[in-house]
Structure 1
């Protein structure tokens, strides 16, 4: 499958789109999603397994077959951050679920993600609800109902399994084995808009990631900043959907050349992505990265303003984080309000392999 670039998306705004069987964005009013709750205990791989079994109990065999696939099914790699009208998804959409099924889905997400991770999902879907009121929403199928869910493998403590959830500006790929999260890679977290108000609630999505990266750059001295310079802002993240196996050349300033305070800021920036995971899995992953910190580099170009072209890459042997502020908007009603694409990858463990 070929994945459109961001530049292609901008061109397609003025081009008719091919129809895809997606859900009417006025179907249910999914946003705001339920508040974070933990009906199966604190978030963990074990709680995710229990919640997954409960979720599956709300579907008959034929319905479950639509979103439960083999662990290594080819369709597992065809996820995307683009609107569903542009790239077909595997699994079942939120809009196709009845109220009980949707409630069980969000119980699952709350059991599989930290509170920070769950709230990121909630905020991204709120941004999509904001876009759904744009004049072009029907055409692009911008809608929180058009977020899709799938299992790969059967949830079990005896064999590896994985889950996938995403839609426009979101693609989570989480692999689990032996009641331990093995990988969050590859995962895309983005948003358009970033700072907005929806139905009286103010949102700020993705800007905290931007600020955490800028804090590292801002703490560097002039010579360090020159080394950390990432150069031109790319058209899109380099390791996004359709880029499995791509490892960019290492660029920027090595953490080994940073002070202790600067290294702490770098770890804080990394945590913005890893904190999606349940606490025990997040801490284990952060310990792994801390042990390898001298081999991690930091590159930055741009400013700390929400709607300006900015790019960051944090990269090591088992880590690639990218942040792109596009400096422009596709949705007319989001103009000037920010637009982010970010990626998290572990090149040694994409899809838990």
Structure 2
């Protein structure tokens, strides 16, 4: 499946990057390529979804054509759903700035890693407030985690986008699951009446599933409950290009869906502060909507072996060393 994963999005990714490079000034290209020579350098695993500057090319000073090219790079590394969410996070952030009286352009930072025309691994990442996308492409496939999307507000109250809930399905599927549990199953799934104030793995370079509660196992659920959990997991996977998303779901099925578990904390009524997570031996999902009185959502998908493309990079550098 590795070849399919790499081939499906690689051509469009390369084309989008080439277009971006053509419309940037030389100094902007130098900023874009501000990266270590090795793609497995520890500093490239430093990330955050909080406000603040990052290394790389800032979108703050880009003109309209350049910004369209950046958006095209962002969209090219996602499936249709992922592109909608990533670009949507930027749109919601613009609304937030209006609410707090802030002025000025978007502030995100893009870094191009490696050479998209070479034989070795390459990729890019785009980070800013409530958006963290990390992409690596190599001969063995594509990797797209850690993948973080946030929304502040979680529900837009007024204006042309009134009622919009960027992460609404992520919240609603999980709520339908927990509220559909009987007393005994809910006792196992709900680990606290008070939710944590953020995702538990935060911006750790390597996610530790041990910090997440065990929750209710897939095998202990009824068929309808299992279907809701499956839909929830696939909702996160579908952020990625289709071939990679399907490969990850096939991986889950091959290992056995019984390895999945679901946990919840906080209230279960719409508008109440809450948190949930999904655990498996290969990946984790977290979601919280606790800040700003339950109107500020975070969501993250981490793959425990694929984050940062570490597995592909390890293979590449090992083979390179062996060949030498």
Output the CA distance in 2 between the equivalents of 1:117 and 1:305: 27
Residue 174 of structure 1, CA deviation: 2.0
Q: In the alignment, which of 284, 309, 312 is matched to residue 352 of structure 1?
A: 309
Q: Does 1:339 align with 2:312?
A: no
Alignment of 1:1-353 (within 5 A): 44-68=9-33, 69=35, 70=37, 71-84=39-52, 88-135=53-100, 137=102, 145-156=106-117, 158-178=119-139, 180-181=141-142, 183-196=143-156, 199-202=159-162, 203-231=164-192, 232-247=194-209, 248-292=211-255, 293-326=257-290, 328-329=291-292, 338-353=295-310
Counterpart secondary structure, 1:210: helix
Residue 242 of structure 1, CA deviation: 3.4
Output the CA distance in 1 between the equivalents of 2:124 and 2:258: 32
String of CA shifts for 1:208-244, please: whole Å, max 9, x gaps.
Answer: 2111111222332221111111224112111121352
String of CA shifts for 1:30-84, please: whole Å, max 9, x gaps.
Answer: xxxxxxxxxxxx9723311221122222235542221222423444223211112
Output the CA distance in 2 between the equivalents of 1:78 and 1:198: 36
Output the CA distance in 2 between the equivalents of 1:295 and 1:179: 26
Q: Is the Cα–Cα contact under 8 Å of residues 164 and 172 in structure 1 kept in the other structure?
A: yes
Output the CA distance in 1 between the equivalents of 2:268 and 2:10: 36
TM-score normalised according to structure 1 size: 0.77
- CA gap 1:287/1:127 in 2 versus in 1, 3 angstroms: same
Counterpart secondary structure, 1:126: helix
List structure 1 segments (4+ residues) > 4 angstroms apart after TM superposition.
none
Output the CA distance in 2 between the equivalents of 1:106 and 1:197: 26
Coordinate RMSD, CA, aligned: 2.4
Q: Is the Cα–Cα contact under 8 Å of residues 178 and 268 in structure 2 kept in the other structure?
A: no
Q: Is the Cα–Cα contact under 8 Å of residues 180 and 225 in structure 2 kept in the other structure?
A: yes
Counterpart secondary structure, 2:132: strand
Output the CA distance in 1 between the equivalents of 2:144 and 2:24: 26
Residue 258 of structure 1, CA deviation: 2.1
Runs of at least 5 residues in structure 1 that lack an aligned partner in the other structure: 1-41, 330-335
Output the CA distance in 2 between the equivalents of 1:53 and 1:62: 16
Q: Is the Cα–Cα contact under 8 Å of residues 218 and 259 in structure 2 kept in the other structure?
A: yes
Residue 249 of structure 1, CA deviation: 4.7
Counterpart secondary structure, 1:256: helix
Runs of at least 5 residues in structure 2 that lack an aligned partner in the other structure: 1-6, 311-324
Counterpart secondary structure, 1:321: strand
Q: Is the Cα–Cα contact under 8 Å of residues 157 and 178 in structure 1 kept in the other structure?
A: no
Counterpart secondary structure, 2:125: strand
- CA gap 1:198/1:94 in 2 versus in 1, 3 angstroms: farther
Output the CA distance in 2 between the equivalents of 1:199 and 1:135: 14
TM-score normalised according to structure 2 size: 0.83
- CA gap 1:112/1:43 in 2 versus in 1, 3 angstroms: farther
User: Higher mean Cα deviation, 69-78 or 185-194?
Assistant: 69-78
- CA gap 1:257/1:128 in 2 versus in 1, 3 angstroms: same
Counterpart secondary structure, 1:196: coil
Residue 198 of structure 1, CA deviation: 6.4
Output the CA distance in 2 between the equivalents of 1:315 and 1:106: 31
- Greater per-residue helix proportion: 2
- CA gap 1:151/1:306 in 2 versus in 1, 3 angstroms: farther
Output the CA distance in 2 between the equivalents of 1:180 and 1:47: 15
